[in-house]
Amino acid sequence: MKPNAFVIQNGILVKYHGDAGAVTVPEGVTAIGDSAFAGCTGLTAVTIPDRVRTIRSRAFLGCTGLTSILLPSTITRIEGEVFSRCSGLTEITIPDKVTFIGGQAFRSCTGLRSVRIPDRVTEIRGEAFSGCSGLTSVLLPHSVAKIGRWAFSGCNGLKQITIRSIRFDEGKLSFLKRRWEHLTYDDIIYGLITYDYNAPFLDYNVCTAFAISQKDEKNTAYVRNNLDRLLFFMIAQNEAEMLFSALKCDWVYDYFKEHIDECIENAISNHAQDVQLLLTNYKAEKLGYADPTDHLQL
């Protein structure tokens, strides 16, 4: 290893300039800085001592030769892009204390085969595992309350996923791998009638039921019974495209005829400008108001 291979400032490993394949982070380091090992393509293995409590964003970005890394038990967050494009990484044990997995954290880790998400993780950000084409199985615990968009997009090898102790086999997974508008009828129905409807992170997928809700009685009944909650979700997230799909359902017309002003007010209070414009136009064109602001109490 080169002399002075580690640049350490106030306990933070700021940069690694070495050329060794296997590296042990020195004692006394409490944090690994942003992009500290980024681009070290010759790096093959890293051991991180338990005194390290923080690994910052992009710390190992593009370390394509990295095949093994031992994370300390003290880590509570996997930050954004921290292992992005580590294509040689085949397995990783996420410490039990981790509660958060950041956006693109493992993006394009094409060698990764399986992932076990610890029981304390509550949020997985968007594209966290996108492009992990070698990923064949995922275990998501009961604690997960939010999964960001395209978290598993491009995981074309995914054959098994276990969510809340329910196993789903190949062929029923595309609702996790593709954008919501490309879901098939079988995919979304399977998810709707099998999953725990109270799981917050499913709202995004459940909302797609509007587009096909008239094809299945159980699906339709669920959507109708939870219409207020699902609409609130779409409005709060400013999901105009998703809401536009919902508006295509004939039976939704009756709901909006009675609640259009309330929904527009909700959009305004949530600063959901796209949804506000959509609903205002809908009010004028479909509900017969020449002036779309008629009867709107602000």
What is the identity of the amino acid at 283?
K
- Quote the mean pLDDT of the chain: 76
Task: Give the pLDDT score at 23.
Answer: 94
What is the identity of the amino acid at 150?
W
pLDDT band at 79 (very low <50, low <70, confident <90, very high): very high
Task: Give the pLDDT score at 191.
Answer: 42
pLDDT band at 189 (very low <50, low <70, confident <90, very high): very low
pLDDT tens digits for 219-240? Answer: 566 667 767 777 777 787 787 8
- pTM over 0.75? The answer is no
Please provide the DSSP assignment of the chain as one string.
--TT-EEEETTEEEEE----SEEEPPTT--EE-TTTTTT-TT--EEE--TT--EE-TTTTTT-TT--EEE--TT--EE-TTTTTT-TT-------TT--EE-TTTTTT-TT--EEE--TT--EE-TTTTTT-TT--EEEE-TT--EE-TTTTTT-TT--EEEETTEEEETTS-HHHHS-GGG--HHHHHHHHHHS-TT-GGGHHHHGGGGGGGGG-HHHHHHHHHTHHHHHHHHHHTT-HHHHHHHTTSTTHHHHHHHHHHHHHHHHHHTT-HHHHHHHHHHHHHTS--SSTTTT---
CA angle 149, 131, 168 (to 5 degrees): 70
**What would the mean pLDDT of 1-5 be, rounded to a whole number?**
66
Q: Which residue has the higher pLDDT, 40 or 1?
A: 40
pLDDT band at 1 (very low <50, low <70, confident <90, very high): low
Task: Give the pLDDT score at 174.
Answer: 42
Find, among 188, 145, 146, 197, the residue nearest to 168 by Cα: 188
pLDDT tens digits for 115-145? Answer: 888 889 988 888 898 889 898 877 777 777 7
Find, among 163, 162, 154, the residue nearest to 135 by Cα: 154
Query: 17: which 2 tokens?
Result: 């300039």
Q: Are 118 and 142 in contact (CB under 8 A)?
A: no
Q: Which residue has the higher pLDDT, 243 or 203?
A: 243
What percent of the chain shows pLDDT beyond 70? 71
pLDDT tens digits for 249-290? Answer: 667 777 888 888 999 998 999 888 999 999 998 888 877 654
CA–CA separation, 152 and 107 (whole Å): 9
Task: Give the pLDDT score at 3.
Answer: 55
Q: Are 40 and 17 in contact (CB under 8 A)?
A: no
**What would the mean pLDDT of 143-164 be, rounded to a whole number?**
72
**What would the mean pLDDT of 154-182 be, rounded to a whole number?**
51
Task: Give the pLDDT score at 254.
Answer: 78
Sheet with 22-24, edge to edge strand ranges: 22-24, 45-47, 68-70
Enumerate domains of the chain plus CATH numbers.
1-178 (3.80.10.10), 195-292 (no CATH)
pLDDT band at 199 (very low <50, low <70, confident <90, very high): very low
Task: Give the pLDDT score at 207.
Answer: 44
